[in-house]
Amino acid sequence: MATKDREEKSWFEKFAENETCRKWVVIAGVAGIALIFLSGLFSPGKEETQEASSQPAAQSAQAYTQELEQSLAELVTNIQGAGNAKVMVTVERSAEQVYAQEEKRSTQTTEDRGSNNSTETNYILVKDADGSQRALAVTEVQPVVKGVVVVCDGGDDPVVQQRVIDAVTTALDITSVRVCVVKAADTG
C-alpha cells in the first residue's frame, strides 16, 4: 500500500510541478469566475422582477377608489328596494408607505446654557438582490374616505336610504354625514 501512496503522490507532484498544467488550471478558474460574474449581469427577468416588486407596493388612490366604488355598487344593488346603483367615492389623499425608522437621542450639558437635547431620525435601509438600497416599508396606509354618493333607483324611499347609509357606513367605517343617497333620474 505504501507503494500505491508513493505512486499517487508522485503523480500529483508531477502535475503540480508541470508549469503548463498550472497555467491551464489558473486560466480555467479565471474563466469560470468571469462566466459567473457575467451571468449575474445579464440574467433574464431581473428587470421584470424589479418592476413587479415595486408596482404593488403603493396602489394609486384612483385605483383604490375605483375598486371601492365597484364593491359598493355591487353591495347597494343587492339591498332590497335599491335597484340599480352607481357609487362615487372621494378620498382625502393617496396611499402612503410607512417606513421603518431609527431614532437617536442625545443630550449635551453645557455650563452656560444648561442641557441641549437633540434627536436624529434615520430610515432603515435594506439592500436588494441587485445591490441597490431602499427604505424598509413597514406598512401601507390606505386613503381616507371623505365622502360617498350613491345614486340608485330606490333612492327616494327613506327606508331604502337608511339601509344604504347603514351598509356604506358599516363597510367603510365612516359617519352617516359623509354619505349621500339620491334617486336615479328616470330614463324613459
Q: What pLDDT score was predicted for residue 43?
A: 57
pLDDT tens-digit profile of 91-111?
887 777 777 777 777 777 776
Residue with cell 347603514: 166
Q: What pLDDT score was predicted for residue 49?
A: 43
Mean pLDDT of the chain: 78
Exposure on the CB side of residue 86, measured as CA atoms within 13 A? 6
- Report pTM: 0.51
Please tell me which residue, 3 or 86, carries the higher pLDDT value.
86
Cα 8 from Cα 156, distance rounded (Å): 99
Cα distance from N-terminal residue to C-terminal residue, the chain? 106
pLDDT tens-digit profile of 34-75?
777 777 766 555 444 444 444 443 457 788 889 999 999 999
Q: What is the CA radius of gyration of the chain?
A: 34
Q: What is the DSSP string of 126-161?
A: EE-TTS-EEE-EEEEEPPPEEEEEEEETTTTSHHHH
Q: Which of 73, 79, 83 is nearest to 183 (CA)?
A: 83
Q: Which of 144, 150, 142 is nearest to 72 (CA)?
A: 150
State which amino acid sits at residue 177. V
Which own/partner contact pairs does 53-57 have at CB distance under 8 Å and 24+ positions apart? 57/97, 57/137, 57/140
Q: What pLDDT score was predicted for residue 150?
A: 94
Please tell me which residue, 51 or 155, carries the higher pLDDT value.
155
Q: What is the phi-psi region of residue 176: left when phi exceeds 0, alpha when psi lies from -120 to 50, beta otherwise?
A: alpha
State which amino acid sits at residue 90. T
Share of the chain above pLDDT 90, in %: 30
Q: What is the phi-psi region of residue 61: left when phi exceeds 0, alpha when psi lies from -120 to 50, beta otherwise?
A: alpha
**179-183 and 114-123 as β-strands: parallel, antiparallel, unpaired?**
unpaired
Give the mean model confidence (pLDDT) for residues 70-90. 93
Please tell me which residue, 181 or 113, carries the higher pLDDT value.
181
Q: What pLDDT score was predicted for residue 156?
A: 92
Cα 44 from Cα 185, distance rounded (Å): 55
